[in-house]
Structure 1
Amino acid sequence: MQQVLSIAKRPHIVVGTPGRLLDHLKDTKGFSLTKLKYLVLDEANKLLNLEFKESLDEILNVIPKERITYLFSATMTKKVSKLQRACLRNPVKVLVSSKYSTVDTLKEEWYFVPADYKDCYLVHVLNELPGSMTMIFVWTCESTRLLALTLRNLGFKALSISGQMSQDKRLGALNKFKAKEFNILICTDVASRGLDIQGVDVVMNYDIPMNSKDYVHRVGRTARAGQSGYAVSFVNQYESLWFKMIEALLGKEIPVRTADADEILILREHISDSKRIALMKLKEDGGHKRRRKTEDEYEEEEEAPRGRRKPRSFKKSKGR
């Protein structure tokens, strides 16, 4: 409703995702782009993913052919080149430095972990950083829910955000994180760009990105505007090559850390129980791979289960 009211004021500039913009073109009375003069396609390489491509094609078909188009992309993929040929005429190409780096105020570390023990190392580090505003990145939307439920069963204030949620629910989760009602946000790479979240203390790479440049975008959520920050990655035996590629991109070696094996083993029993309960919950809700959920189910998941035993906290190790 707020967006409809804003559109009714006939703004000169509209910023939005292709899907949401297309919704308003179809459903909002009086909204039209027939007089559009400028079109900006930011993160074009991301807009061409399956999630946005169909909506973008529909928008390009209804806007004026006579316009000025600005296309920005971090990488010049075949899809971006195809889009360039389709919507640009006599384009002027501007190339900027492709060197990637992280800021000096960011402390970066990583753990080499067995794949089956990744949850244990994650909880170990969370116990060392109580109350820190933390973003945890995983590969899939399903993993955001599973990890959020597992951590809440362990007593952590965690919630997830993903493309499987409605826009209202995504904004609601994001606002709860910003308001510090929850201090842990589990998300996919969609949240590594474009979100304005202040005060993030820690970024954790639960799953290592297969695209090295995504690492830079992820850790860029912390240590912003001169503030300090901490980024930690959990690298299993199958991800070590990807992590080496990240170090090669940055032109540096990231320090490795270790954890006490006895502490990890103690955590494993608690975490296994919590994950089993989380998987049962997902199964009850319709399956781990269900594409959509009702709003009531998401509301229910935002309440941390009571009576669960929080994993044993250990004394913070030196050197942090």
Structure 2
Amino acid sequence: MKWAKPTRIQQEAIPWALQGRDIIGLAETGSGKTGAFALPIVQRLLDDPQRFYAVCLAPTRELCVQIGEQFEAIGSTIKLQTATVVGGLAMVDQAMALAKRPHVVIATPGRLVDHLENTKGFHLKTIKYLVMDEADRLLSMDFDEALDKILEVVPRDRNTFLFSATMTSKVSKLQRASLKKPVKVEVSSKSDTAAGLVQNFMLVPFKFKHTYFAALVAHFIHYAVMVFTDTCLGAQRLSVFLRHMGMKSICLHGQMSQAQRLGALSGFKAKEQRILVCTDVASRGLDVPSVDLVVNYDIPKNSKDYIHRVGRTARAGRSGRAVTMVTQYDVELFQRVEHFLGKKLEEFTELVDTKVKASHERVLEALRSTELELREQDEGTSERAVKRKMHQQKSKGKKGRRR
């Protein structure tokens, strides 16, 4: 896999893992955390071969797919079998993969609970390892119910690994994962960003936000760019807007089907598209080696999410840049992020105001075209929904008459 030497988190965590200790691992994004838990699991599996050996939980579908690929690559020479179990894909196919009794199951908590309750013969009574990647997110409120159900059915005599770039400080939450005398392996502080990352902010009037955004993306014309917004609609709108400005872009958000999401991600990884506009669904754990610039079009409400977003660039020792757009309405949120980082960010001054504002008319025209396109899409979607409903009612009527 061309891994010449272990990263710091791997150096610190792997020896403890091989000794059978529970681990809380804290390291900046892009520092090789997946290897830090996957390598010892595969090693211990070699010493003691067994089906349903480990379960790895992650908060997003894309991250699960990525972890599954890493496990398969590490275990390719020993015919390691994995099953990736996430929402948005057919339960039946996943049930068939689980019926083959893989060594490692990688899953989002909700879908794993679905299979535990509905897939005949599937259980986790024998697992030796439970891994939570992006553990602070998994231990937050969203996954409470599903996580409790999983922790009830896995054996108490197991190893538990929690890994994340930002870890919750609430001991009560960590206790829920029922760790036994865990070793805390910390190679970065609670809010560290990668050393090769240049972080800037851009103070812009709200009225000209789209204009400055278009100028910023055009300024880095040869860069691979990830743009983060707060909402699915916001991501959709910005992606269409960029297209009307003559820039190729693709979007990724939670309301897209799983096939569309994976397609968008692979298109961006393969450099078919230069700009990926996304929500926080893409902020955690995703490893796209070639991201040069991260733009926070909207400032995240939770400062922790800032760390994860900007961690998409400057990974594994590379350099990268992050620019956060701040309007007069965002100052308090931005100050919160700076307070969390424990430092002041420098202002981005490479754009000339007069040049930027000269393109304002063109931007307004692109925005009008964007709104028109989105409205047409909405109308088309609702028309299709009405037709589908009418068709269903007709077919129900026919069945009733036949009876």
Q: TM-score, normalised by structure 2?
A: 0.62
Task: Check if 1:271 corresponds to 2:271.
Answer: no
Matched with 1:88 is 178
Larger radius of gyration: 2
Deviation at 1:16, TM superposition (A): 2.0
Matched with 2:244 is 153
Deviation at 1:118, TM superposition (A): 1.4
Deviation at 1:120, TM superposition (A): 1.0
Matched with 2:198 is 107
The aligned amino acid for 2:243 is: R
The aligned amino acid for 1:124 is: A
**Aligned counterpart for 2:331 among listed residues 230, 237, 240:** 240
**Aligned counterpart for 1:177 among listed residues 265, 268, 271:** 268
Task: Check if 1:260 corresponds to 2:361.
Answer: no
Matched with 1:297 is none
Question: 1:279 and 1:93, CA in 2 relative to 1: closer, same or farther beyond 3 A?
Answer: farther
SS in 1 for 2:328: coil
Deviation at 1:66, TM superposition (A): 5.3
The aligned amino acid for 1:180 is: K
The aligned amino acid for 1:142 is: L
Matched with 2:69 is none
Deviation at 1:8, TM superposition (A): 4.5
Task: Check if 1:143 corresponds to 2:234.
Answer: yes
Deviation at 1:134, TM superposition (A): 0.5
Matched with 1:312 is none
Gaps spanning 5+ residues in structure 1: where? 295-320
In structure 2, distance between residues paired with 1:203 and 1:185: 10
Deviation at 1:286, TM superposition (A): 3.5
Q: Which moved more, 1:251-260 or 1:110-119?
A: 251-260
The aligned amino acid for 1:231 is: A
Q: Which moved more, 1:209-218 or 1:148-157?
A: 209-218
Matched with 1:126 is 217
SS in 2 for 1:135: strand
Task: Check if 1:215 corresponds to 2:306.
Answer: yes
Deviation at 1:72, TM superposition (A): 4.6
Deviation at 1:249, TM superposition (A): 3.6
Matched with 2:126 is 35
Deviation per residue, 1:46-66 (Å, 9 max, x gap): 125565444434434544455
Matched with 2:319 is 228
What is the RMSD of the two structures over their aligned residues, measured on CA atoms? 3.1
Task: Check if 1:44 corresponds to 2:138.
Answer: no
Question: 1:175 and 1:30, CA in 2 relative to 1: closer, same or farther beyond 3 A?
Answer: farther
Q: Which moved more, 1:175-184 or 1:19-28?
A: 19-28
What is the total number of aligned residue pairs between the two structures?
A: 288
SS in 2 for 1:14: strand
Deviation per residue, 1:212-243 (Å, 9 max, x gap): 33222222211222222121111111222332
In structure 2, distance between residues paired with 1:40 and 1:192: 20
Residues 167 and 190, structure 2, Cα contact 8 Å, conserved in 1: no
In structure 1, distance between residues paired with 2:373 and 2:144: 33
Question: 1:85 and 1:127, CA in 2 relative to 1: closer, same or farther beyond 3 A?
Answer: closer
In structure 2, distance between residues paired with 1:234 and 1:206: 6
In structure 1, distance between residues paired with 2:289 and 2:225: 11
In structure 2, distance between residues paired with 1:111 and 1:13: 45
Matched with 1:302 is none
In structure 2, distance between residues paired with 1:285 and 1:64: 50
Percent of paired sites with the same residue? 45
The aligned amino acid for 1:109 is: N
Matched with 1:283 is 375
Deviation at 1:180, TM superposition (A): 1.1
SS in 2 for 1:98: coil
Q: TM-score, normalised by structure 1?
A: 0.76
Task: Check if 1:201 corresponds to 2:292.
Answer: yes
SS in 2 for 1:175: helix
Matched with 1:21 is 112
SS in 2 for 1:15: strand
Deviation per residue, 1:23-67 (Å, 9 max, x gap): 444565654323233322232331255654444344345444554
**Larger RCO (CA under 8 A, 6+ residues apart):** 1
In structure 2, distance between residues paired with 1:163 and 1:273: 28
Deviation per residue, 1:167-204 (Å, 9 max, x gap): 22211110011111111111122312111211111111
In structure 2, distance between residues paired with 1:237 and 1:194: 31
Residues 129 and 158, structure 2, Cα contact 8 Å, conserved in 1: yes
Question: 1:71 and 1:220, CA in 2 relative to 1: closer, same or farther beyond 3 A?
Answer: closer
